[in-house]
Structure 1
Amino acid sequence: MTNKGKQAQIQAPQGAMAKFLDWIEWLGNKLPDPAILFFICMVTVWVLSWLLSGVTFTEINPKTGEAIQINNMLAGSTMATFFAGMVKTFTDFAPLGIVLVAMLGVGVAEHSGYINAGLKWMLGFTPKGLLTPVLIFVAILSHTATDAGYVLVIPLGGVIFYAAGRHPLAGIVAAFAGVSGGFSANPIPSGIDPLLQSFTQTAAQIIDPAKTVNPLCNWYFTGASSIVIILVGWFLTDRVIEPRLNSHTPVDNDAEPPTKIEKLTASESRSFWAGSAAMILGLIALAAIAIPSDSILRNADGYLERFDAPLMQMIVPLIFVFFLIPGVVYGLMAGTFKNSKDIIMSMKKAMDAMTYYIVMAFFCALFLYAFNNSNIGALMALKGAAALKAMNLPPQVTIIGIIFLTAFVNLAVGSASAKWGLLGPIFVPILMQVGISPDLAQAAYRVGDSCSNIITPLMPYFPLVVVFAQKYVKKTGIGTLVSLMLPYTILFMITWSIFLLIYWGLGIPLGVDASYVYTPATP
């Protein structure tokens, strides 16, 4: 197929929606790379700190109890301190170690084949009537393995639906909705939890240096949210999307005929269950150590779930261990790992995929250092809080505003960590000043961040999903996929936001050691 033919296939639908999407794509392409964006923000903070350093403000700094003062980051002594501590600023950047350590373990499980075997097993025995909800559930669980869902579950969704006599594109978009649209709905803690928590805590400490945020502060909410995403996705796929596909988008006559789902081989099955048994034994051992009242994993007051409990501080190492163990067992039994070098190489492959994140984290760490030490973040928080208080909006309206604003920003800036690195230092302190906890602010952000992932062509895996769909319908283009995913975005946004408000209204805990309310410290 010629390049011209390929380009002709990827045309957006005509009309107002097409113009809007074209504008979003144009705007997103005009933005610099996130790493450069952080650098620009850092330089902007430097210049603003110089301009505002001589201005007298009446707002009281909650850290000192005195009128807030902007520190000039371009002063000679300040710049000398900045460059002298640049390496430490980077290495002490909390999200960096969290992500890399977690990904070492996940990389072993992924490259050994353990994660792929587990996904195949779950999808292989599913009755046709429950195909959609199980596929979406598996897609949600795939978040635990970072990008595995994009490259495995989404194409497998098309294969499974086609083999079951259903429209393959329905399987692809249902999986895409679960993997990306329901990104923050997961009953299993994963690397994204401590990653976002580290940004949230850093932002909260702009206002309250002693404030800590538990890595699992949204766990109960995200687990319950997976039920919402599954039910809504099930309804849309079976009642709206697939009927429309059957009537308007037939499968190409020359498409490959459907094939049976590839089952696990005897060797893969034995290896998978051996790896799973090793993980379960590890969990049992962990529970046996944690349950006693005098457990070494409890804090001084006997709590397991508090932030200062050793168990909570071990979340990331535990993610590493509980992916490493089954991955190694599976790899050695299945033959994907021949020796210890293969295990190490699987970690190397995982780190190869993280090189861009490391670059982005470098500039993000420097931006946050400048933002925090200049006091501009605190000033923005206090000014923003004053504006919110003057508007006197109900807290529920404020939270909904955060959700929709995040979803809009997500159309142009796709990375969850990059966005929260930029928005967290603004959102969290402002909301804290009007009594809304960092835990709730993060939950609202996660809802907004997830819903619009599936309608932006700027999302790195969006073109890949188009390619998967073209296997069955060659005319599928970006506009086709957007038109299929837009109903998921709209309904996810509405139902998930309402669910958060109801969840909040009922007072159900958001997660471990979490709260809905923050009481500002009095100077």
Structure 2
Amino acid sequence: MGDSKPVKSSVVQRALAAVERVGNKLPDPAVLFIALLFIVWVLSWLLSGISFDLVDPRSGEPLRVVNQLSGNALTTFFSVMVTNFTHFHPVGVVLVAMLGIGVAEHTGFINAGLRAMMAVTARWLLTPMVILVGIVSHTAVDAGYVLVIPLGGIIFYAAGRHPLAGIAAAFAGVSGGFSANFVPSALDPMLQGISQAGAQILDPAVVLNPLNNYFFTTASSLLIVSLGWFLTDKVVEPRLQSSAVDGDVSDLPTMEPLAVHERRGLRIALIAMLLGIALLIATSLPAGSAWRAPDGELTSGAAPLMKSIVPLIFLLFLLPGIVYGVSSGSIRSSRDMIAGMTKAMTGMGYYLVIMFFIAQFIYAFGQSNLGVLLALEGAEILQKLALPGGITITGIVLLTGIINLFVGSASAKWALLAPIFVPMLMQLGISPDLAQAAYRIGDSSTNIITPLMPYFPLVVVFCQRYVKSTGIGTVTAMMLPYSVSFLVLWTIFLLLYWAIGLPLGLQATYGYPA
């Protein structure tokens, strides 16, 4: 028994090394997406003449694959190529947030803040802290990708640990545990609305609570933090020790104590940050606040507060960064502030190149209906199998995880699947609340291993800051233990949760009818 663990570990490490080698032999991510674009064009041409016995749930019309090599499709593609890129959501999110973060990093505010934090945080608690912050960041939509993930690397490096392990832990919390959160977010009412519409196909009287999965996602956050902590410290970081840090880390923080002028600057900057947060809270609390949606909600997708998350992050780092720079003496003129923004944008050049080709691929893939075809065919197979409840729920998790490798948007995917899954499961006696919980597990777990996820190339860029040779294979192999563990153990957790009968959320049930 004593010799079995090293053998297992060795097998796992060899498998991950093989994934990394194969993945890194793939073309550059930009070239990969160019190739995928051509594949979509060819597949759409080949499948466009085939009639599928499927109904598109978005339109109610028979599903057909649209030929992207037709004259009309190609001319439309070229006419929208620029707007595909400029309107591609992740581009604006990343660049605007990085402007503020760039100033805070250039002036030394982030450096000083992390050194002060690590002076009072035990080294062994860094991993769960980073994962927990990543989970909480879901409340701020996509902010975790551009804020928490790079900070994970900086925190680990400053603590003398491998920076890629910090990025992996943060990525696991932000993206792998996307549906694990104890703070309600805009995702909850968005998915609930889609689930309710799917349920009302069968029963128009069904009404779901926006927090119908709240208790389960809260409990799931404990599972994700625990699993992520174990995997980071025992599997991922030991393997990364062979990857030498050869990037430019000269401006990253170390564990040196803060100087007098740094302590003064940090104190004043944190006061400025707290005053800004207090002002935001004070202006958002009144029932008639301009930050609220027309229905009075603060966390709905229509609320100006939720739409302003990225600009608020920009200000949250810009203003304290400037205050710190002036107070500590690291800023002597307005040119220093602009220099920080410029430096941050300089590092984004490679990311922008990749994003251009990802935007074109996602447009063509969406227009072709290939993603819809994949989702509907998989759902139809699952429906025909008519398996027992527990196995069916597991099948939905796995199918969602597979589809998630190709269709990234959580809401778009559920909009395709809910009209099929929810009524189907209701006929099997399974509630829409449970169907939605199963979907959320599959949707989260495979986020971190698919290069088709728009923020995946950004994580590669973050890693290359420390290890220049980082490629798609490196990140995929690094995140694979999290993805597989989350998918398997989170599914088992849901089945046990169901078996015990713990409440899923507010006004939620397991069975239908309740």
TM-score above 0.5, yes or no: yes
Counterpart Cα distance in 1 of 2:179 and 2:394? 27
Q: Deviations over 1:456-485 (max 9, x none)?
A: xx9677798899xxxxxxxxxxx9xx99x9
1:106 aligns with: 101
Q: Deviations over 1:278-314 (max 9, x none)?
A: 1111111111111111111112211111111111111
Contact 1:109 / 1:328 at 8 angstroms: preserved in 2?
Answer: yes
Report if aligned partners of 2:131, 2:169 keep a CA contact under 8 Å in 1: yes
Q: Does 1:397 align with 2:404?
A: no
Check the 8 A contact 1:119/1:138 in 2, yes or no: no
Give the match's secondary structure for 2:159.
Answer: helix
Partner-residue secondary structure (3-state), 2:66: coil
Q: Which residue of 1 aligns with 2:303?
A: 309
- Report the alpha carbon displacement of residue 496 of structure 1 after superposing the two structures with TM: 5.1
2:130 is aligned with 1:133: no
Separation in 2, partners of 1:92, 1:516: 40
- Residues 111-510 of structure 1 mapped to structure 2, 5 A cutoff: 111-126=106-121, 130-134=122-126, 136-138=128-130, 141=133, 145=147, 148-149=150-151, 151-158=153-160, 175=166, 178-184=169-175, 227-228=222-223, 230-231=225-226, 261-392=255-386, 394=389, 396-398=393-395, 400-401=397-398, 421=408, 429-430=416-417, 433-435=420-422, 441=439, 444-449=442-447, 506-508=503-505
1:358-403 residue CA offsets vs partner (Å, 9 max, x unmatched): 1111111111211122222222222222122223455641354268
Distance 1:486 1:53 in 2: 35
The 2-side partners of 1:237 and 1:315 are apart by 29
Secondary structure of 1:308's partner? Answer: coil
Instruction: Give the partner amino acid of 2:368.
Output: S
* Equivalent position SS for 1:36: helix
Q: How many Å separate the matches in 1 of 2:97 and 2:464?
A: 27
Match of 2:59 in 1: 64
The Cα shift of 1:34 comes to 2.1
Q: Residues of 2 paired with 1:73 and 1:431: CA distance? A: 27
2:154, 2:163 within 8 Å by CA — same for their partners in 1?
A: no
Stretches of structure 1 that go unaligned for 5 or more consecutive residues are 1-11, 159-168, 209-215, 246-259, 410-418, 468-478, 510-514, 518-523
Structure 2 CA distance, aligned partners of 1:452 and 1:55?
A: 29
Please state whether the residue corresponding to 1:381 is helix, strand or coil. helix
How large is the Cα RMSD of the aligned pairs?
4.9
Q: CA deviation at 1:226?
A: 5.8
Question: Is the Cα contact below 8 Å between 1:299 and 1:306 reproduced in 2?
Answer: yes
Q: Tell me, in whole angstroms, the C-alpha distance in 1 between the residues paired with 2:179 and 2:380.
A: 37
Q: Is the 8 A contact 1:187 1:224 kept in 2?
A: no
- Tell me the equivalent position of 2:427: none
CA gap of 1:349–1:327, structure 2 versus 1, over 3 A, is: same
Listed one character per residue, the Cα deviations across residues 256-299 of structure 1 (whole Å, up to 9, x for unaligned) are xxxx9522122111211211111111111111111111111112
1:50: Cα distance to partner? 1.7
Q: For the structure 1 residues 426 and 288, does the alpha-carbon distance in structure 2 shift closer, same or farther, using more than 3 Å as the test?
A: closer
Letter in 2 for 1:153: I
Question: Per-residue displacement from partner, 1:174-226 (whole Å, max 9, x unpaired)?
Answer: 8566445445469999xxx99xx8xx99xx9xx99xxxxxxx99999888766
Cα 1:64–1:234 change in 2 (3 A) is closer
Mapped to 2, the partners of 1:217 and 1:107 lie a distance apart of 39
The one-letter amino acid paired with 2:261 is S
**CA displacement at 1:489 relative to structure 2:** 7.9
- The two structures have a TM-score, normalised by structure 2, of 0.66
- Give a deviation string over 1:102-121, Cα, whole Å, max 9, x none: 22122222222212222211
TM-score, scaled to structure 1: 0.65
What is the alpha-carbon distance in structure 2 between the residues aligned to residue 316 and residue 289 of structure 1? Answer: 18
Q: Alpha-carbon deviations, 1:23-53, whole Å to 9, x = none?
A: 3233213322222222222111211222222
Structure 2 portions without partners, runs of 5+: 1-6, 135-143, 199-210, 240-253, 423-431, 452-458, 469-473
Secondary structure of 2:52 counterpart: coil
Matched residues in 1 for 2:276 and 2:9: separation?
A: 55
**Partners of 2:505 and 2:179 in 1: CA distance:** 16
Q: Secondary structure of 1:434's match?
A: helix
Is this contact kept in 1: 2:101–2:314, CA < 8 A?
Answer: yes
| Secondary structure of the corresponding residue to residue 79 of structure 1 | helix
Post-superposition Cα deviations, 1:118-163, rounded to whole Å, max 9, x if no partner, equal: 221111024xxx54125641576486635544553223333xxxxx
Amino acid at match of 1:351: M
Contact 1:71-1:375 at 8 Å conserved across structures: yes
Aligned length: 426
Question: Does the 8 A contact of 1:123 with 1:135 survive in 2?
Answer: no
Indicate conservation of the 8 Å contact 1:133/1:234, yes or no: no
Letter in 2 for 1:154: F
- Over 3 Å counting, the alpha-carbon distance change for 1:112 and 1:442 in structure 2 is farther
Distance 1:497 1:262, change over 3 A: farther
Distance 1:25-1:58 versus aligned 2 partners, 3 A rule: same
Which position in structure 2 is the counterpart of 1:91? Answer: 86
Q: Which residue of 1 aligns with 2:138?
A: none
Map of 2:29 onto structure 1: 34
* Residues 377 and 425, structure 1, Cα contact 8 Å, conserved in 2: no
Q: Distance in 1 between matches of 2:95 and 2:438?
A: 26
- Cα distance in 1 between the residues matched to 2:231 and 2:12: 20
Aligned counterparts of 1:279 and 1:313: Cα–Cα separation in 2: 20
In the alignment, the residues of structure 1 paired with residue 369 and residue 449 of structure 2 have an alpha-carbon distance, to the nearest angstrom, of 33
> Contact between 1:154 and 1:465, CA under 8 Å: does it hold in 2?
no
Kept in 1, the 8 Å contact 2:37–2:361? The answer is yes
How far does residue 319 in structure 1 lie from its aligned partner after superposition? 1.5
Query: Which secondary structure state, in structure 2, belongs to the residue aligned with residue 31 of structure 1?
Result: coil
Deviation, structure 1 residue 502 = 7.0
